[in-house]
Amino acid sequence: MKRMVWIAAFAMGIGSAWAAGSEGLAPDTINQATFSTKPNAGKGKIDPVILKAQVLLDRARFSPGVVDGHDGDNLRNALRSFGEARDARNDGKIDEAVWSKLNETSSDPVVTEYTITDEDLKGPFVEKIPDGLEEQAGLERLSYTSPAEMLAERFHMDQDLLKALNPGKAFDKAGTAIVVANVLASRAEHDGKVAKIEVDKGRHLLRALGEDGSLIAVYPASIGSEEKPAPSGSHKVQGIARNPTYTYNPDYKFKGVKAKEKFVVKPGPNNPVGSTWIDLSIDSFGIHGTPDPDKVGKAYSQGCVRLTNWDVEALAKMVKKGTTVTFLD
């Protein structure tokens, strides 16, 4: 009987996200998810409660990084930071207190329907991004490789989650209705500007603070590298570059790069520094985006402070030249 229901649903164009074979991925299941002390999905599967928590954290500006429906360090750091800010301290796991506080932040659905437009498909797109920096320098633009990659990043999602929520859907066809994380609904805004940034090396976090010291936003961050370790002390924002190029300095001797002279990689969201560069008063050091959002907050960086493209874009709107940036050891 379940198989017959699945076939009928697919034939009507509803798709298997509503079918017995994909239980737990239906939008209502995610939007109506409630707290449980036990995982709501099997090992390796998308957990509706975690997915809901990630979207609510994102909208409250306690970024979990990539929304993927799975537990991980970035989610735990976001939960700790949210709990500390809302008097619901926890150990980085979802509990009743923090779940209640999260659900007070917004009543909008956490997943919603979006219809792909002709504008979405204009690109430009590139077939493939080479792994090597020197090969990347040969491209005219470091664009997205597909509409699916572009859409996943727009809605702060992992591509695997996007595909899991939309089995069989064509992301390169205008008029296609897809299910996405509703991260843009009722996202917490701040009237003031960021007066100070704290880069917490130990917790792999960046905190944005207001004039009164209030917490405006928290973002997971990859901070420094062996070739280019993060500094200490306080520094200043020097400027902001949107859609930046990336200039390789051979003095850093990054692994796998043979060039002895400087070279430039063209702009684009898959540029090594992503979609935005916030320049700091430290030579060749900044806060920037990344072509690999799923690796943010982990031991992966070519130096500087790396955020997801969407998080650094949000931060760039709230800082100005002269904003203090303090590195905490």
Please state whether beta strands 196-200 and 324-328 pair in parallel, antiparallel, or not at all (unpaired): parallel
Q: Where are the domains of the chain?
A: 2-104, 111-181, 196-328
Task: Tell me the DSSP string of 120-183.
Answer: GG-----S---SSHHHHTTSS----SSHHHHHHHHTTB-HHHHHHHSTT--TTSTT-EEEEE-T
Fold topology of 196-328: L,D-transpeptidase catalytic domain-like (2.40.440)
Structure token pair of residue 149 = 């990659």
Phi and psi at 316, nearest 5°, equal -60, -30
Sequence-separated (6 or more) residues with CB below 8 Å from residue 297:
65, 73, 74, 77, 204, 220, 221, 222
Per-residue pLDDT, 231: 87
- Only one residue has tokens 């796991």, namely 93
Tokens, residue 135: 């090969």
- Identify the bridge partners of residue 67 per DSSP, sorted by sequence position: 157
Give me 112's structure tokens.
């919603």
Place of tokens 């920096």: 133
The pLDDT tens digits for 267-323 are: 999 999 999 999 999 988 999 999 999 999 975 666 689 999 999 999 999 999 999
- pTM of the shown model: 0.89
**Among candidate residues 143, 147, 177, the one with its CA nearest the CA of residue 159:** 147
34 exposure class (CB count in 10 Å sphere: 0-12, 13-18, 19+): exposed
Residue position matching structure tokens 């917790």: 203
Ordered mean pLDDT values, 10 residues apiece, the chain (329 residues): 35 34 71 86 86 97 97 96 91 93 95 98 95 94 98 97 96 98 74 88 95 94 81 95 94 85 96 96 93 86 86 96 96
Q: For 121-159, give one letter per residue: b (16+ CB within 10 A) or e.
A: eeeeebeebeeebeebbebebbbbbbbbbbbbbbbbbbb
> What residues have CB less than 8 Å from 47, skipping those under 6 apart?
24, 39, 40, 41, 69, 70, 71
Q: Are 327 and 233 in contact (CB under 8 A)?
A: yes
